[in-house]
Structure 1
Amino acid sequence: MKLKKLVQQVMEEVITLRRHLHQNPEVSGEEIETSRRIQQQLEAAEIPFKTGFAKTGVLGIIQGGKPGGTVALRADIDALPIQEENDHGFKSIVPGKMHACGHDAHTSMLVGVGKVLQQMKSEIEGTVLLVFQPAEEDAPVGGSQQMMDDGVFEEFKPDAIFGQHVWPDLPAGQVGVLPNEVMGASDRFAIRVKGSGGHASMPHQANDAIIVANHLISQLQTIVSRNTDPLDSAVLTIGKIEGGYRYNVIADQVLMEGTVRTFKSAVKEMVKERIAHIISGVEKSFGASIELEYLDGYPATVNTPEWAAQVKSSAQKVLGREATPAVSPSLGGEDFSRFLLQYPGAFYWLGTSVESTEKQYPLHDPRFKLNEEALSKGVELMTQLALDTLDKLSQKEEAC
């Protein structure tokens, strides 16, 4: 009951902060005012912090009154280059920019968690790190690796790290967590087909890059349908095509951009290899020149089973035994994956679907909304998770 009361005491501030951030979104690498606002909030709560990580990243540090382990809690802070199409009173006032992935909620909830834990500081066994990460949407570069390269965990190394993400596919008050893979590896590629142009009435004098691209697209789709084990997961999508000049001109070049999503590293490498082989074959068949640029993106987000189980336990403790339904992993990419390559931990989803009277639009949609009633549940869960994790770490230390 004490925790719930403390959470409720900070919720007005959490919602106010979330709405301010929503109105004033900053995209990857530009989160200067967002970072400044976070620092102001931490300073007002008397939470020590450090800056200078990945340019705009912030690390809040709560050292408990008792010795113990270290748990890190992460929130991403950047927005997307999307023009918001909602009409609520706090819609984005920045043209072409929007918090369409809920990072405004992640940031405000983590600030709320910090404020609650700071009030409980004397009871805490160990240290809680509040990691405010920029540039999550800047794939394949991201901000997590840069934060680590800049020494975000140089003084305090996490024994466990957790990330929370709003999830419109789940009702408010439900939590999605999986013991292993939860999000996919997200690579991207660009393919430039170079043929030779000419008049549309004389195709025999040209090498039509659009025809070459058409055959290439068809063959690339066989990688998933005919080269991937049906029990594994892979997606290959061509999301953009540019080529041609006008109706009566044969195109000499076509640019295609796409993405590859996988869970297993072996599947990812197979897809990369097959793309190169197919390009080589089409190139020879049509006498065209085809260039491939393949960018390795975020790796798959793979939870540590022990800490995924802790998320489930903490969620059921504060939200009820029905709060953790069975969920399937997503092939969406997530920069938190790089934290999990270095430290044990877990990434989980917080249900934020809007009331049934409204249509729920997905993440990254210009009409995306979230249910603010879920924010208190997210603050309470992450606070309880930090406390439970530190308690578990202390028990492990005593048993040694």
Structure 2
Amino acid sequence: MNDKIQQHLSQIEKEIIHIRRHLHQHPEISNHEVETSKLIQHKLAGFGIPFETGFAKTGVLGIIQGDKPGKTVALRADMDALPIQELNDHAYTSIHDNAMHACGHDAHTAMLLGAGYILSKMKEYIHGTVLLVFQPAEENSPIGGAKVMLDDGVFDTYKPDVIYGQHVWPNLPVGTMGIRDTKMMGATDRFKLVIRGKGGHASMPHQTSDSVVTAGHMITSLQTVVSRNVDPLEASVLTIAKIEGGSTHNVITDCVILEGSIRSYSSDVKKTLKERFHTIVDHTASMFEADVEIDYLDGYPATINTPEWAALARTSAQKVLGEDATPEVEPSLAGEDFSRFLQKYPGAFIWLGTQIENKEEQKALHNPRFQLNEDALPNGSAFFVQLALDTLEKLGEE
């Protein structure tokens, strides 16, 4: 089977790279993926793959029905870019200001289109239906695009028995994949605090309620939530990422703004973090006679793989890339909108190794100089094909 996949892959391999570079050069941020969606629809039509639109504005659902009856598996790729000014210097650098595919969604879309092409040529081996889910707005946390697609009925006609997604991963070398049986990525809440005190002259603090002092105590106290309220064996983090306040050296400001995020895997830990966050913020503000406005946004839930399908994904990866292709990996507290699909359907989320040759120069995801190794993209397409076929075969046996 792998030989057949590779045979069809050789016909589309250059096109996968071309699509990725075109999307990279013409990025569209969340909820504005109009031209990206048009390109996907054009390619699917050219491959002879039926599709439906109208999900989360720009989302697309490709439908490949095999020659043999069976169950349904879904493969998902996100398609939006980030509001980042690209600082790379290559032939396909983004032509749009403050828009860049700094998280690899251009590659995800290209790889899924490549997988769709191969699967459309292998219908005789497909026992059931393969759905190609092109999702917008993954970067638009906490709303995202997955829930909106679900609400818009993306799976009303074709309901997946299993769903998979994959993400380029710069920490892993080409030819490897990161697959965990359970915890993969974290829940990602975010918050904004507006602390309002009483401003005044820097020489007369007794006449003020200093919002900077309040903010300082609040920041310090919030760091005890993880260290003193959460089991040390449970991973979590509370980060203050932005502080804004004050105008000059001799004025005690009346307002300070704090912004940050809270990340965890366990729903119980998430509940504890949220409760302690509100308690500490409220009581600290009261202690310093300040008011505080709390804007707390529950973000993406944790991405937790289904053990059965994660194990099958590991086997599929080894068929395509060899027995050493799935090294042990630790989970990440980065968030992923795919988690909302996994709340509804069993499946797994997989990391695809895309580390550049000089790993010392590899930049992280969401970095304006992020690059990926395009040699990995055919691997991603071939893996998706093998995974879909293996899953449908197992579902048929069950």
TM-score, structure 2 as length reference: 0.99
2:318 corresponds in structure 1 to: 316
Of residues 63, 86, 92, the one that matches 2:65 is: 63
Of 284, 297, 307, 2:299 maps to 297
- CA distance in 2: counterparts of 1:394 and 1:280, whole angstroms: 55
> 2:142 maps to which residue?
140
| Cα distance between partner residues in 1 of 2:205 and 2:183 | 49
| Match runs of 1:17-96 below 5 Å | 17-96=19-98
Residue 365 of structure 2 corresponds to residue 344 of structure 1 = no
What displacement does 1:304 show?
0.4
Unaligned segments of structure 2, at least 5 residues: none
| Residue 170 (structure 2) aligns with | 168
Counterpart amino acid of 2:290?
A
Report the equivalent of 1:272: 274
* Residue 192 of structure 2: aligned partner: 190
Matching residue of 1:118: 120
Shift of 1:358: 5.7
- Aligned CA RMSD, in angstroms, stands at 0.8
Q: What aligned pairs does 1:253-268 form with structure 2 within 5 A after superposition? A: 253-268=255-270
Match of 1:127 in 2: 129
Task: Give the structure-1-normalised TM-score.
Answer: 0.98
Cα distance between partner residues in 2 of 1:358 and 1:373: 18
Q: What is the SS of the residue equivalent to 2:92?
A: coil
Determine the C-alpha separation between the residues in 2 that align with 1:3 and 1:365. 34
Change (3 A) 1:47 1:254: same
Aligned-partner residue type, residue 9 of structure 1: Q
8 Å contact 2:125–2:389 — kept in the other structure? no
Partner secondary structure for residue 352 of structure 2: strand
What SS class does the counterpart of residue 195 from structure 2 fall into?
Answer: strand
Q: Deviations over 1:136-182 (max 9, x none)?
A: 00000000000011010000100100001000000001000111110
Instruction: Give the whole-Å Cα distance in 1 for the aligned partners of 2:357 and 2:68.
Output: 42
Post-superposition Cα deviations, 1:287-345, rounded to whole Å, max 9, x if no partner, equal 11112111100000010000000110000111000000000000000000000000000
Contact 2:37 2:58 in 1 (8 A): yes
Provide the rounded CA distance (Å) in 2 between the counterparts of 1:139 and 1:323: 32
* Percent of pairs with identical residues: 60
Shift of 1:122: 2.5
Q: What are the ranges of 5 or more consecutive residues in structure 1 without an aligned counterpart? A: none
Which residue in the other structure is 2:380 paired with?
378
Give 1:203 shift.
Answer: 1.2
Q: Which residue of 1 aligns with 2:309?
A: 307
Show the counterpart of 2:367.
Answer: 365
State the shift of 1:357 in Å: 6.6
Structure 1 pair 133/208, CA: closer, same or farther in 2 (3 Å)?
same
Alignment deviations for residues 202-259 of structure 1 (CA, whole Å, 9 cap, x no partner): 1111111011000000000000111111000110001111111211110100111110
Q: Which moved more, 1:157-166 or 1:282-291?
A: 282-291
Deviation at residue 284 of structure 1 after TM alignment: 2.3
Name the amino acid aligned to 1:64. Answer: G
> 1:322 is paired with a residue of what secondary structure?
coil
Aligned match of 1:234: 236
CA distance in 1, matches of 2:284, 2:14: 60
* Structure 2 match to 1:327: 329
- 1:282 aligned partner: 284
Q: 2:158 aligns with which of 147, 156, 159?
A: 156
What does the per-residue CA deviation read over 1:30-59, in whole Å, with 9 as the maximum and x for residues that have no partner? 000000000000001010000000000000
Q: CA deviation at 1:356?
A: 2.2
Partner SS for 2:282 = helix
Secondary structure of 1:55's aligned partner: coil
Kept in 1: contact 2:146–2:341 (CA 8 A): yes
Give the length in aligned residue pairs. 396
For the residue of structure 2 that corresponds to 1:383, the secondary structure is: helix
Task: Give 1:360 shift.
Answer: 0.5
